[in-house]
Amino acid sequence: MAQIQFPYLGNSLVMAIVILTHVFLAFIAVGGITIAVVSEYIGYTKKSPYHDLLAKKYMNFISNLMKVGGVFGTAIVVLLIGLFGEFTKTLFNIFFFPLLLEALMFFVLFASSIYYRETWNNTKNKKLHLFSGFIAALAGIIAAFIINTVWSFMLTPGSYFKNPSMTSAVFNPLAFSSFTHLIIPCVINSAFFFFIYSFYKIKTGNLEERPFYKWAGDYTGKITAIFILFQIVSGILFLLTIRAIDNSIFTKIVAGDASIFFYSMITLAAIAAISSIIFLLTRKQAYVVLLLGGLAVYLAFPLGGYTRERARKPYLIQGYMYMDQRLATAQGVKKEVTKENILAKYGCLSCHKFKGQGGTFGPNLTNVRLKLNKNQIKSILKAPPPGMPPFGGDDKGIEQITETLLNK
């Protein structure tokens, strides 16, 4: 079957549009839940009704936003499978269990956030209510960390393809620096979103609402400004980490095809930083200035993401898989020959477990040499018992599997 090509826009642009939209909504949701529960906690400990009201209003909004974000998340999976099948299969094989954990975290996030929102007015145990909110926030942060490990792995797979292990894939060289650079924008996006809404309500809301929204604008504006400055520091550390890992990627960012997007992002980041400093020094008198800075950050985020993607080209996975999903074997990437790889090659691990890996439908093959001899194993492969699919290899394959199972 021919490779699917998205008409007019192309596969890469369609993926970029859907992913950026999903990421923008996800950032607001994860950051918003975190701000909401922290604000409620502050309100609870300091007896501040404004903190509690802000948290409640934000949760009502985020509950609807998460539904839209979920639609785009589903679209990403469908597009990945349809447009980049081999690439998706590779990533899913490497990150299967982490991605399964991410799905579980999304379930926990949805369930706990619904409980958190619905029990706001009728809960008798405030501490339990806060606990459910913190669980929702933690689940969102864990999910963000997992998807970040996949994204950072694509740029810096490290030693994984020489010595494959889930640990080296998840904790790849860029994982933590990339996560810091990702989680801070979650707070910025969500805080700035409510800052814009507060600014609007100050201008158009009724007189009874204005005191709250003036306070909310100052509160969320301060969070936005402080975290913008944190993001500048995080970005510098991120670049230094990339340079230490792979100077060729760093060179592409600052002096290669991606440089025009990089320096555009730097200009916007400088505008945001200056606006943030002015707001922090003058606060309520500088709402319009922070609006300019926040909008500059909103534009800088997609430019930064695109810069990062361009720096990886011509690869989908740096040094391993090209954009057309061909493996970069010319780069010297070879899969280590192990017993597990041999058994996986012939499909044995689909049903059988071997040294902790594989399925659970068939007998465990780890110590099969203690139960069967060479001829018995060959007989089973040549004439499988009921319930076992026929062996798809040749006599050489039968010999290879037999030797693999019998050798210690």
Give me the number of domains the chain comprises: 2
Sign of CA dihedral 263, 265, 267, 273: negative
**pLDDT > 90: percent of the chain:** 47
Tens digits of residue pLDDT in 286-304: 788 999 999 999 999 989 9
CA nearest 176: which of 224, 144, 134, 140? 144
- Evaluate whether residue 160 is within a structural domain: yes
Residue 236 sits in the same domain as residue 204: yes
Q: Place 338 in a pLDDT band, splitting at 50, 70 and 90.
A: low
Asked if residue 2 has pLDDT above 70, the reply is no
Written as six digits, the tokens of 298 are 């909103």
Asked if residue 331 has pLDDT above 50, the reply is no
Residue 239 sits in the same domain as residue 348: no
Sign of CA dihedral 59, 40, 295, 305: negative
Please give the pLDDT value at position 329: 61
d(CA 339, CA 337): 7
Asked if the bond preceding 314 is cis, omega within 30° of 0, the reply is: yes
Please give the pLDDT value at position 332: 45
Please give the pLDDT value at position 378: 87
What mean pLDDT comes out for the span 363-390? 85
Residue 245 sits in the same domain as residue 355: no
Please give the pLDDT value at position 285: 65
Q: Place 333 in a pLDDT band, splitting at 50, 70 and 90.
A: very low
What mean pLDDT comes out for the span 257-278? 93
Asked if residue 33 has pLDDT above 80, the reply is yes
Written as six digits, the tokens of 82 are 């349809």
Tens digits of residue pLDDT in 224-246: 999 999 999 999 999 999 999 99
Tens digits of residue pLDDT in 183-210: 999 999 999 999 999 999 988 878 888 8
- 330, 348, 377 — which closes off a domain? 330
Q: Which domain CATH number covers 391?
A: 1.10.760.10
- 313, 330, 347 — which closes off a domain? 330
Residues 30 and 141: beta-carbon distance below 8 Å? yes
Tens digits of residue pLDDT in 143-154: 999 999 999 999
Q: What is the CA radius of gyration of the chain?
A: 26
What mean pLDDT comes out for the span 81-87? 86
Asked if residue 1 has pLDDT above 60, the reply is no
Mean pLDDT of the chain: 87
pTM of the complete model beyond 0.85: no
Residues 147 and 57: beta-carbon distance below 8 Å? no
d(CA 343, CA 120): 54
Residue 181 sits in the same domain as residue 251: yes
Written as six digits, the tokens of 50 are 């404004």
- Evaluate whether residue 266 is within a structural domain: yes
Among 5-19, 25-39, 143-157, 231-245, whose mean pLDDT is lowest? Answer: 5-19
Domain limits for position 353? 337-406
Q: Regarding predicted confidence, which is higher, 399 or 205?
A: 399
Please give the pLDDT value at position 244: 95
What mean pLDDT comes out for the span 99-118? 92
Residue 135 sits in the same domain as residue 75: yes
d(CA 105, CA 28): 17
Residue bearing tokens 């954990």 = 101
Residue 81 sits in the same domain as residue 28: yes
Q: Place 360 in a pLDDT band, splitting at 50, 70 and 90.
A: low
Residue 77: what residue type?
Answer: V
